[in-house]
Amino acid sequence: MNLQTFKSTLSASQVPQDISPLLQALWHDYNGDWEASHTIAQSKEGTKEYDRLHAYLHRKEGDQWNANYWYRRAGETMPKVSLDEEWEQLAERLTKN
C-alpha cells in the first residue's frame, strides 16, 4: 500500500483490516483513538518499528521522558518537527515496507 492509498482510508468509519498493524495504529491515532494505537505499539515491544511508534505516541501524549526512552530503544532521537510532520514521516516510512 502506498501513502496516498493509506491516506484515503483515514475517512473510513472503521480501520481497514487488510493493512499492517502499524498502519492500523497510525489510522487509530489519526482518528483520535490514542489508546488503540498505544495497545498496538505495546504489542511487539522490542521491535524497532513498534518502539518508534511508541515513542511518537508518548511524545504526542506530552510525556517527553517516556518518549525519549522509546526513541532510544528504537535507535533514534526525538525529531525536531511538529507532531503532524512526524505522523506523516511515520506513515510514509510504513507504507514503503
Model confidence pLDDT, tens digit, residues 21-44 = 999 999 999 999 999 999 999 999
What confidence score (pLDDT) does residue 81 get?
A: 98
- Residue 86 near residue 79 (C-beta atoms within 8 A): yes
Residue 57 belongs to some domain of the structure: yes
State which residues form the domain around 90.
32-97
Q: What is the count of structural domains for the chain?
A: 1
Is it the case that residue 88 has pLDDT exceeding 70?
yes
Q: Is 23 within 8 Å of 95 (Cβ atoms)? A: yes
Question: How high does pLDDT run on average in the chain?
Answer: 96
Q: What is the pLDDT of residues 60-76, one digit of tens each?
A: 999 999 999 999 999 99
- What angle (nearest 5°) sits at the alpha carbon of residue 9, between those of residues 7 and 14? 140
Residue 61 lies in a domain: yes
43 Cβ partners below 8 Å, 6+ apart?
21, 50
Query: What is the model's pLDDT at position 97?
Result: 65
Cα separation, 27 vs 7, in Å, equals: 9
